[in-house]
Amino acid sequence: MRFIATYFGSSSWLLELGDFRILIDPWFRGDLFFAPGPWLINGQLQKEFPIPHRINLLLLTQGLEDHSHPSSLDLLDKSIPVISSSSGAKVVQKLGFSFVNKLNPSESIKIDDVVVRATAGANVPILENGYIVSNNDLSFYIEPHGFLDPKIKPCKLDAVITPVVNLKLPLIGSFIKGKTVLPSLIKTFNPKFVLASTTGGDAIFSGLLNNFISVEGTNKEASDFLANSTTFIDPSIGKPYELSAVEN
């Protein structure tokens, strides 16, 4: 079965499991900033992305702007089914989406032949979601901050989508723990592919907080670490990656 992953930068992905198309945490146009305002941190896309066609499911990991970006979400057909964390559900409900399924960690739902199970993600500042997504042939895990639910039992997955570096702030510490979590992800899921996420893309960030963020680890270090166990993909923006090794 065809398995295609396309990265749009930040935490935004399009995953195709056969003919079933899942849009995740889209940011396609407009600035991205957090309260109290863009002076704190502000993201600007270098280019706008066209809206993918024929979306079967909108999957939101968090309710924060870099995952539930209102200007981007408002461009989508409001009849697209949504699966979301509780905070993300509030965003899409306010925008008028008709079919919103709020999942708490350990809960799951089936749409067509695709099962989505929520896992515990990052506390930013409330508990958000990761997901294990599967059908009869394919499976993947996604969590954008590098947090792994300790309740997950080991299982074989085709792909893991995760940050692979740590981002840190003074006093707060690491708010993205990709480098730290990577060995645990490999041990838990033994994936065929790891796709780097969250810290990539063509956006330019500015603002007060941006001046204090430090990075621990590199994509090359992640690639070297995974060399003997799984295939590492550092995705180019907008390029579809056909994960042919998972075909039957």
User: For residue 135, what is the domain's CATH number?
Assistant: 3.60.15.10
Query: Where are the strands (E) in the chain, listed by range?
Result: 3-9, 12-17, 20-24, 32-33, 42-44, 57-60, 82-84, 100-102, 108-111, 114-123, 127-134, 139-142, 159-162, 166-169, 173-177, 193-196, 204-206, 214-216, 231-233, 240-242
CA separation for the pair 113, 110 (Å, rounded): 7
Which runs of consecutive H residues, i.e. helices, occur in 61-189?
Answer: 70-73, 86-95, 178-189
Handedness of CA 213, 214, 218, 222 (dihedral sign): negative
Question: What was the pLDDT predicted at 149?
Answer: 97
User: Which residues constitute the domain of residue 151?
Assistant: 3-246
Chain centroid to Cα 37, Å, comes to 24
CA separation for the pair 213, 147 (Å, rounded): 19
> 166, 122 in Cβ contact below 8 A?
no
Tokens of 61: 């990991």
Question: What was the pLDDT predicted at 188?
Answer: 98
**How does pLDDT run along the chain (248 residues), one tens digit per residue?**
899 999 999 999 999 999 999 999 999 988 776 665 665 677 878 888 999 999 999 999 999 989 999 999 999 999 999 999 999 999 999 999 999 999 999 999 999 999 999 999 999 889 999 999 999 999 999 999 999 999 999 999 999 999 999 999 887 888 999 999 999 999 999 999 999 999 988 888 777 777 788 999 999 999 999 988 799 999 999 999 999 644 43
Single pTM value for the model: 0.94
What lies within 8 Å, CB to CB, of 184 at 6+ separation is 148
Question: How far is residue 9 from each of residues 30, 36, 46, 139, 197, measured CA to CA in Å?
Answer: 14, 24, 11, 21, 7
Tokens of 168: 């840190």
Give the total number of structural domains in the chain. 1
Tell me the CA end-to-end span of the chain in Å, nearest whole number: 6
Question: What was the pLDDT predicted at 23?
Answer: 98
Tokens of 239: 């390029």
